[in-house]
């Protein structure tokens, strides 16, 4: 039997997710790859999608988008990416229903895992590195990015935030990190002693960001929070600056008076990896996946795992995935 995580309605993931048993998949067809999963990641976005699911579903809705595993079989005549072979380790994204012991994936989304990467890193090798690539590309559209302009990012201690920091250091992009707690700031400072970090729990944190910027204009900001925090970040931007919103952690809306946008000529941009996967060309996706692998290889130490659970401990896993102060992503080993 195959054990798969599903939900049949929206709501708190710890309450609505269940593990069902279904027949094991048969041989893959043309264009498909059969994978026995070894680990999958619980992304905050997975949980938001489950919470926001409208009403009751007629059929169980399979959960998850990213998983790593071993290729069991490749469908006849299937073109696979370089390195994908029977017995080889792979990661899949976007794969609706990735939270399952067995996955039948479209060959297009199956990526070989370099030998140097552990299963723990492999399980996180696509979504967050690709998000980092997507954000960086968006920032590069600003003329000052990579020159005198400075980048500010909020939730900088997050898994994505640590990759953004590592990539910014590699490319010599000036960055000021923002986290919510002094504890988080101390933890991030230990990892990246050369990158200034400011905690929003300190009143006057915005002035601390200005001080850390040392007179350089804040041309781009990355923000997965929104709400009041994003409003302050808009204030920090230089005229012509851009706020790239890529998450919805705050419950309240971002409230901005038209005059702020008008007089400072600001740009507000939303980015999400779901759109990347449906809108980017096949060439762009292949190139970005290659970059994501490079990020995983170069920044292995930034792919922390907060904890690993079994399928029988799913409620604990999803509760841990949103626990304040955790560092890294929560993984589930499905066997
Ligand atoms: N747009 C996309 O395609 C895309 C792709 C990937 C991720 N994301 C988003 O990016 C964000 C980070 O993802 P991740 O996988 O890196 O998550 P993660 O490792 O679980 O980190 C979550 C981070 O959010 C911070 N946080 C949580 N609630 C907060 C609040 N109310 N105020 C301030 N900070 C708060 C946490 O800070 P503490 O350390 O203080 O707890 C932690 O640093 C999520 O919102 C996710 O949905 C978006």
pLDDT digits (tens, 9 = 90+) for 117-142: 999 999 999 999 999 999 999 999 99
- Ligand 1: which residue has its CA nearest to atom 45? 247
Give yes or no: residues 181 and 269 share one domain.
yes
Q: Strand 150-153's sheet: what is its strand order?
A: 197-199, 175-179, 150-153, 218-223, 242-245, 267-270
pLDDT tens readout for residues 154-184: 999 999 999 999 999 999 999 999 999 999 9
Ligand 1 pocket test target in 180, 205, 250 with most atoms within 8 Å of CB: 180
Using the predicted structure, report yes or no on whether residue 56 has a pLDDT greater than 90: no
Which residue CA neighbors atom 21 of ligand 1 most closely?
Answer: 158
Total structural domains in the chain? 2
Shared domain for 145 and 201, answered yes or no, is yes
Query: What's the average model confidence in pLDDT over 31-60?
Result: 95
* Same domain as 147, residue 102: no
DSSP for 127-165, written as a single string: HHHHHHHHHHHHHHTSTTBTTTBEEEESSTTSHHHHHHH
Ligand 1 neighbourhood includes 162 CB (under 6 angstroms)? no
**Percent of the chain beyond pLDDT 90?**
98
pLDDT-above-70 percentage for the chain: 100
Q: Which of 254, 274, 294 is the last residue of a domain?
A: 274
Residue-range definition of the domain harbouring residue 60: 2-124+303-333
Q: Please report the pLDDT score of residue 89 as a whole number.
A: 98
Closest atom of ligand 1 to CA, residue 187: 39
CA 247 to ligand 1 centroid distance, Å: 7
What CATH number does the domain containing 28 carry?
3.90.180.10
Looking at the structure, tell me whether residues 270 and 134 fall in a common domain. yes
* CA dist., res. 286 & res. 233, Å (int): 33
Q: Is residue 288 included in any domain, yes or no? A: no
Residues 147 and 269 in one domain: yes
Confidence check: pLDDT of 55 > 90: no
User: Same domain for 116 and 230?
Assistant: no
Residue 178 belongs to a domain with what CATH number?
3.40.50.720
Query: Rounded mean pLDDT of the chain?
Result: 97
Q: State the pLDDT at residue 65.
A: 98
Atom of ligand 1 nearest to the CA of 324: 41
Q: Note whether residue 284 is domain-resident.
A: no
Q: Of the ranges 20-34, 51-65, 200-214, which one carries the lowest mean pLDDT score?
A: 51-65
288 three-class SS: helix
Q: Which of 274, 292, 311 is the last residue of a domain?
A: 274
Residue 149 pLDDT level (bands cut at 50, 70, 90): very high
Residue 326 pLDDT > 90: yes
CA angle 82, 167, 332 (to 5 degrees): 60
Looking at the fold, whether 94 and 119 belong to one and the same domain comes out as yes
Domain limit, last residue, from 274, 293, 312: 274
């Amino acid at each position: 039997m195959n054990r798969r995580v599903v939900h049949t309605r929206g709501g708190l993931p710890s309450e609505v997710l269940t593990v069902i048993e279904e027949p094991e998949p048969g041989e893959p067809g043309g264009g498909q790859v059969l994978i026995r999963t070894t680990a999958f990641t619980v992304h905050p976005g997975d949980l938001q999608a489950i919470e926001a699911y409208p009403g009751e579903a007629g059929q169980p809705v399979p959960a998850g988008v990213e998983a790593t595993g071993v290729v069991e079989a490749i469908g006849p005549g299937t073109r696979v990416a370089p390195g994908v072979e029977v017995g080889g380790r792979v990661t899949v994204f976007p794969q609706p229903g990735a939270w399952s012991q067995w996955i039948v994936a479209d060959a297009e989304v199956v990526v070989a895992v370099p030998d140097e990467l552990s299963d723990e890193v492999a399980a996180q090798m696509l979504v967050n590195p690709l998000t980092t690539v997507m954000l960086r590309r968006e920032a590069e559209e600003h003329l000052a990015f990579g020159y005198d302009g400075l980048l500010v990012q909020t939730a900088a201690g997050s898994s994505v935030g640590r990759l953004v920091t590592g990539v910014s250091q590699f490319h010599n992009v000036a960055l000021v990190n923002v986290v919510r707690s002094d504890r988080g700031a101390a933890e991030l400072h230990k990892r990246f002693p050369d990158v200034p970090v400011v905690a929003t729990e300190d009143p006057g944190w915005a002035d601390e960001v200005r001080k850390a910027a040392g007179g350089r204009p804040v041309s781009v900001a990355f923000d997965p929070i929104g709400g009041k925090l994003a409003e302050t970040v808009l204030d920090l931007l230089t005229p012509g600056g851009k706020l790239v919103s890529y998450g919805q952690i705050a419950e309240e809306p971002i409230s901005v008076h038209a005059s702020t946008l008008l007089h400072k000529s600001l740009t507000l941009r939303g980015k999400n990896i779901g759109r990347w996967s449906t809108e980017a060309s096949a060439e762009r996706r292949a190139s970005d996946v290659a970059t994501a692998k490079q990020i995983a290889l170069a920044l292995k130490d930034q792919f922390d795992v907060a904890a690993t659970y079994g399928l029988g401990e799913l409620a604990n896993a999803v509760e841990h995935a949103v626990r304040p102060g955790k560092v890294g992503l929560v993984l589930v080993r499905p066997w």
